[in-house]
Amino acid sequence: MKAYLRTSEPQKGLTTILKKHSGRDSTGTISVRHQGGRQKRYYRTIDFKRDKRGMEAKMVQIEYDPNRNAHIALVEYTDGEKRYILHPRNLNVGDMIISKEDADIKVGNALALKNIPIGIEIHNIELYPGQGGKMMRGAGTAAVVIAKEDKYIHIKLPSGEVRKIIKDCWATVGMVGNVLHKEEDLGKAGRKILKGIRPTVRGTAQNPRSHPHGGGEGRSGEGMHPKTPWGKPARGKRTRNRTKWSNKFIVKNRHTK
């Protein structure tokens, strides 16, 4: 655990019990494999909307959240209300932030996209006004404002894709913290189990009734085009619907050079 993270219990009133479904749907059938056995945890209610407008808040502490790879920050508003937000990089304990349509361009401040200058890093971006942030919520992620047109703002995503967002949507200035999360080494299989990730067995090591790659004497290869346990192509088959309605908001595809 990092030294600057609080290790005591999370803020009461901002947590709910998070039920463990172990990858099973409403019928009790496993619909997502390799899940189960994780430790009990509580869900921390995160303020993705940042809808307490025009009131300053002080960052009280940074906390670990078992439900996401980013850290969260507990902020206290001047009226005494406390909320959790995603912890932006370089936002320290004691710093003041505000959510306001034309707030200063300062890390942690939330404001409308139309008031954010070109070249500024942003996260927790809305797709529709008032919906709450939906994009750039993972550790170390940020998009950049690169252009403005009539009613849209062009933002560049980490993948290289350029997308149009309605100018009245809100976003938070800065990059999501815990940037080194992707370099973390779990260290042992037991820690993966505590996260709720069960082992994955190779298809070639299974019985032929359990997997198309199974069977054979000794160590045998797949012996066919790679398949899923249900016989569908496992690698290379494109599954995305190219006629998706939201494609009209893509200015530059992430696959184009």
- Considering the domain 5-180 in this protein, what is its CATH number? 2.40.50.140
- On the question of a common fold for 5-180 and 201-257, the answer reads no
Which pLDDT does position 174 carry in this prediction? 97
Q: How far apart are CA 164 and CA 63, in angstroms?
A: 33
Going by their DSSP bridges, the two strands 15-17 and 42-44 should be labelled as antiparallel
- Considering the domain 201-257 in this protein, what is its CATH number? 4.10.950.10
Q: What is the largest CA-CA distance in the chain?
A: 71
Which pLDDT does position 95 carry in this prediction? 96
Q: How far apart are CA 173 and CA 107, in angstroms?
A: 5
Which pLDDT does position 1 carry in this prediction? 60
Which pLDDT does position 247 carry in this prediction? 86
Q: Which of 249, 250, 252, 202 is nearest to 228 (CA)?
A: 202
Which pLDDT does position 242 carry in this prediction? 75
Residue 218 CB coordination number (10 Å): 4
Structural domain spans, the chain: 5-180, 201-257
Which pLDDT does position 256 carry in this prediction? 82
Contacts of 35 (CB under 8 A, 6+ apart): 21, 22, 23, 196, 197, 198
Indicate yes or no: pTM above 0.85.
yes
Per residue of the chain (257 residues), give pLDDT as tens: 676 787 778 999 999 999 999 999 999 999 999 999 999 999 999 999 999 999 999 999 999 999 999 999 999 999 999 999 999 999 999 999 999 998 999 999 999 999 999 999 999 999 999 999 999 999 999 999 999 998 999 999 999 999 999 999 999 999 999 999 999 999 999 999 999 999 999 999 999 999 999 999 999 999 999 999 999 999 988 877 777 888 889 999 988 87
